[in-house]
Amino acid sequence: MKQQLQQQWLKLSTRLDALTLRERAMVFVAVTAAVLFLIYTMAVEPMLVKQKLLLAQIRQQQNQIAGIDMEITAKAQGFNLDPDAQEKARLHTARAEIDRVSAGLLAVQKGLVAPEKIAPLLENLLGGHGKLRLMAMKTLPVTGMSESFAESAPPAATVAAPAAAPSQANPPIQPAAANKPRELLYRHGVEIVLQGSYLDMVSYMAALEALPVQLFWGKASLDAQQYPNSRLTLTLYTLSLDQKWMKL
């Protein structure tokens, strides 16, 4: 066996020696390519196939993880949903509207006379009209603006109900009165009685109109029976967010 291998090697060597340099280079390149092909087929290709399989498994696992993350996120969002979210949003909107209205009322109130300053203001103004005499001054009950509107509205017409039958023992139960809404503005009034000449009274009323702060007129009543010393009864109002009224 060994001799056969030696003989084949000698034959191969003889053939190689008989080849030219160019032919030897071509044989070397062919042998090298064959060896590299065998190495690729036996070692590299299986590794590449295995790598592709591993990459495919990794992608599949990543997709599964992404799906699980989406499910977890959806469930977490479901747990975080507030069943009262709409009501809270409405409450927030209502509070914002209340704040806006309150700010507007405060701005209006800044241009009005504070209730506790009405009496000093009227007395100081009277000092500039020395011929007028203050005969009386009193505060009026504080009323809400809704009550003021209700008082000024005409009474509703009523229709007489038919007489109840004699056999009816108990009268029908009347429904309870609805709770009144909270007032936003209160009307504070003062009634003053002045005595003096007509021209002095006109001058005093013009001075009231020219004040930098605003007072609302209620009613004015002139009694000229004791001419020239007439009597003028004035009712003046201011508005306030506070229901408290300092008594005179």
Tokens in use for 24?
Answer: 């030897």
Q: Which residues contact 92 (CB under 8 A, 6 or more apart)?
A: none
Q: What is the model's pLDDT at position 177?
A: 44
- Residue 148 is predicted with a pLDDT of 55
Residue 188 near residue 214, CB atoms below 8 Å? no
Q: Which of 38-47, 53-62, 115-124 is the most confident on average?
A: 53-62
Residue among 116, 135, 115 nearest 126 (CA)? 135
| Identity of the amino acid at 188 | H
Give 35's pLDDT tier (boundaries 50, 70, 90): confident
**3-class state of residue 118 by DSSP:** helix
Instruction: Compute the distance between CA of residue 134 and CA of residue 19 in angstroms, rounded to an integer.
Output: 147
How many Cβ atoms are within 10 Å of 47's Cβ, its own excluded? 10
Specify the pTM: 0.45
Q: How far apart are CA 130 and CA 200, in angstroms?
A: 9
pLDDT of residue 19: 67
pLDDT(57) > 50: yes
Q: Helix, strand or coil for residue 238?
A: strand
> Do you know the residue count of the chain?
248
- φ, ψ of residue 215 to 5 degrees: the values are -125, 145
Question: What is the per-residue pLDDT across 98-157, written as a single tens digit (0 to 9) for each?
Answer: 888 777 766 666 667 777 777 888 888 887 777 888 888 888 888 876 665 555 544 444
147: nearest Cα among 100, 194, 180, 195: 180
Instruction: For residue range 224-246, list pLDDT tens digits in order.
Output: 777 777 888 988 888 777 776 55
With a pLDDT cut of 70, the percent of the chain lying above it is 72
228 prior amide bond cis, ω within 30: yes
Q: What is the pLDDT of residue 165?
A: 43
Q: Which two tokens stand for residue 150?
A: 């209700």
Contact yes or no for 112/239 (Cβ under 8 A): yes
Q: What's residue 164's pLDDT?
A: 43
Residue 229: predicted pLDDT: 78
Higher pLDDT, 67 or 11: 67
Residue 182's pLDDT is what? 66
Between 241 and 61, the more confident residue is 61
Give the tens place of pLDDT for each residue, 146-189.
665 555 544 444 444 444 444 444 545 444 445 666 666 788 88
Helix pair angle (118-127, 198-209), 10° resolution: 130
Position 239 scores a pLDDT of 79
pLDDT given for residue 176 in this prediction: 43
Mean pLDDT score of the chain: 74
